[in-house]
Amino acid sequence: MTDNKNNKKTPLRSQAWFGGDDKDSFIHRSWMKNQGHPNDMFDGRPVIGICNTWSELTPCNGHFRELAEMVKRGVLEAGGFPVEFPAMSLGETNLRPTAMLFRNLASMDVEESIRANPIDGVVLLVGCDKTTPALLMGAASVDLPTIVLSGGPMLNGNYRGKPIGSGTDVWKFSENVRAGTMSLSDFKQAESCMSRSTGHCMTMGTASTMACMVEALGVALPGNAAIPAVDARRKLQAQLTGRRIVAMVQEDLKLSSILTAAAFENAIMVNGAVGGSTNAVVHLLAIAGRIGIDLTLADWDRLGREIPCLLNLMPSGKYLMEDFYYAGGLPVVMRELLARLHGAALTVTGASVAENVAVADNFNPDVIHPLAAPFKDNGGIAVLRGNLSPRGAILKPSAADPALMQHRGRAVVFSSIEHYRARIDDPALDIDADSIMVLQNCGPQGYPGMAEVGNMGLPKKLLQQGVRDMVRISDARMSGTAYGTVVLHVAPEAAMGGPLALVQDGDMIELDVAGRRLHLDVADDELARRRALWRAPEPAMRGGYQSLYIKHVQQADQGADLDFLVGCRGSKVPRESH
């Protein structure tokens, strides 16, 4: 590879394993040859690690074997040596108690696998929600040339002649069943109509959002976010990604040259423009912490406050990711925003953001609205502070009811998700449409893992009255496919004694999104009295990874990473294995 500073070639990292004439090099080469690799694969070709999160338990990533083969084709065409290796796969739909609990564990797997092996550059195969941040966090802590390839969204769902979106319509159908307006038979029939091809959620859920984020950050090729999983052009993207990573190694183009402060600011603005998931907040904070960028909730509010939502896509709008791709994809959105973005920011193409999107054309302005006539005025993430969230809480205005953006209501408190489920449909529950539902002990430590339970379903008796949105507050997260006036990520969380833990039934709470305020209307001396009586909840499991997680996890406003994983530790391994 070439040293950009002095234009001299420096040895490939993998040559520390394969390039010698001693016993250790013999061992490294010989055992690799049992897979049929010829001698010339070890003579200075860049070794490209393909980090694959394929798993049959992760349906979103179930087609990754084929994608990996296409990446290998591109690597070989460019003169590289492709080697595929697995990483812990995090399936959002199946993992309990929540995939988020294991994001940091998977990042450890990825980091140590990259560093410990003879790898010069890395392709990260990502798709389902947490696989994208986990792999990028791990790679950022090593800082080799790295490129991301997303698996792509499913084809549009279709139920009885109408489009349905993964997740978003699940919430609607579920509420309709509880309200008595949809039969259980119809509900079950919709299952096969929603998930009708390989790929991740085709709404702007967390998977689609994070696919947009890696493209906006510049660590994926243009067009990465929206190509459907089953479209032949997704395979082409994989092949081109394989070619490009070899060139990145030759150019010594590392992650730290791309994941700059400007790149993160671009991603935040793009998230607002696409109506992206609230989960992007906690993931980008964690990725920034790994690469050494000082990113905060204040940056999210500052940069997103004036960004309108341009994309008419579920859950904020009506279209789906397949439509987004046909309309031109993320490059169109970024071209619309270019006057606000850091256009000079470097990307994995070796060119700038501005150069990458210069010729992007909008083929459907009803899907991607122009900046001059946005789909919704408020697209960013609102960061709320007050005595109920001293370190911040967030809300997604584009998915919320405008009538509830300034609201005062009486708290109805659930101390755990089990308490909520046992109580929510009790006819005697003292709750009305003006009440504010509060869920405690579902944050990073409390669940553990900060599960997607913040978008609490409404009481059956209110659904039957036609109520479809209420203010909800918690230290949990919610699915990117969800919607509603939902305040999330309250920090500090209830399980560590944050003010959220002190809320009781009947307390008055004030939400003022425009004023960025979340206030518990209870006197300080009363809160002090309650705090003296508060006791931390018992952990759900003792010992094992969960115990390590609870001891070391940071709060949501810091990205919920483990404290000892923050930072970049580089790629050097000074000691031989034999």
298 pLDDT above the threshold of 60: yes
**Residue after which a domain boundary falls, among 296, 322, 357:** 357
Q: Say if 438 falls within a structural domain.
A: yes
Same domain for 173 and 248, yes or no, is no
Q: Say if 46 falls within a structural domain.
A: yes
> What is residue 170's predicted lDDT score, i.e. its pLDDT?
86
* pLDDT > 90: percent of the chain: 89
HEC secondary structure over 387-442: CCEEEEEEECHHHCCHHHCEEEEEEEEECCHHHHHHHCCCCCCCCCCCCEEEECCC
User: Average pLDDT in the 557-561 region?
Assistant: 98
Q: What is the pLDDT of residues 480-523, one digit of tens each?
A: 888 899 999 999 999 999 999 999 999 999 999 999 999 999 99
* Cα 371 to Cα 309: distance, rounded to the nearest angstrom: 9
User: Average pLDDT in the 541-549 region?
Assistant: 93
Same domain for 117 and 243, yes or no, is yes
276 pLDDT above the threshold of 80: yes
> What is residue 3's predicted lDDT score, i.e. its pLDDT?
53
> What is residue 7's predicted lDDT score, i.e. its pLDDT?
53
Q: What is the pLDDT of residues 70-92, one digit of tens each?
A: 999 999 999 999 999 999 999 99
Same domain for 116 and 226, yes or no, is yes
> What is residue 384's predicted lDDT score, i.e. its pLDDT?
98
* Cα 477 to Cα 449: distance, rounded to the nearest angstrom: 10
> What is residue 405's predicted lDDT score, i.e. its pLDDT?
96
pLDDT band at 132 (very low <50, low <70, confident <90, very high): very high
Is 367 in contact with 323 (CB distance < 8 Å)?
yes
Q: What is the pLDDT of residues 181-223, one digit of tens each?
A: 999 999 988 888 899 999 999 999 999 999 999 999 999 999 9
Q: Say if 298 falls within a structural domain.
A: yes
> What is residue 9's predicted lDDT score, i.e. its pLDDT?
67
1 pLDDT above the threshold of 80: no
Same domain for 334 and 423, yes or no, is no
> What is residue 11's predicted lDDT score, i.e. its pLDDT?
85
User: Average pLDDT in the 389-405 region?
Assistant: 95
> What is residue 2's predicted lDDT score, i.e. its pLDDT?
53
Same domain for 300 and 395, yes or no, is no
> What is residue 507's predicted lDDT score, i.e. its pLDDT?
98
Phi, psi of 200 (to 5 degrees): -95, 180
Q: Say if 372 falls within a structural domain.
A: no
Q: Say if 261 falls within a structural domain.
A: yes
Q: Say if 551 falls within a structural domain.
A: no
Q: What is the pLDDT of residues 2-58, one digit of tens each?
A: 554 445 567 899 999 999 999 999 999 999 999 999 999 999 999 999 999 999 999
* Cα 50 to Cα 28: distance, rounded to the nearest angstrom: 19
Q: Say if 474 falls within a structural domain.
A: yes
**Residue after which a domain boundary falls, among 357, 374, 404:** 357
Q: What is the pLDDT of residues 427-470, one digit of tens each?
A: 999 999 999 999 999 999 999 999 999 999 999 999 999 999 99
Same domain for 140 and 163, yes or no, is no
Same domain for 189 and 217, yes or no, is no
* Cα 453 to Cα 455: distance, rounded to the nearest angstrom: 6
pLDDT band at 539 (very low <50, low <70, confident <90, very high): confident
pTM of the full predicted structure? 0.96
Same domain for 221 and 342, yes or no, is yes
Q: What is the pLDDT of residues 138-155, one digit of tens each?
A: 999 999 999 999 999 999
Rg (CA), the chain: 24
What residue numbers bound the domain in which 162 lies?
158-194
* CA dihedral for 284, 288, 290, 296, sign (positive or negative): negative
Looking up residue 480, the CATH number of its domain turns out to be 3.50.30.80
pLDDT band at 106 (very low <50, low <70, confident <90, very high): very high
Same domain for 468 and 492, yes or no, is yes
Same domain for 184 and 254, yes or no, is no
> What is residue 430's predicted lDDT score, i.e. its pLDDT?
97
Looking up residue 217, the CATH number of its domain turns out to be 3.40.50.2300
Number of domains composing the chain: 3
251 pLDDT above the threshold of 60: yes
Same domain for 337 and 485, yes or no, is no
Q: Say if 565 falls within a structural domain.
A: no
Least confident segment among 171-180, 350-359, 418-427, 543-552: 171-180
* Cα 332 to Cα 527: distance, rounded to the nearest angstrom: 50
Same domain for 271 and 315, yes or no, is yes
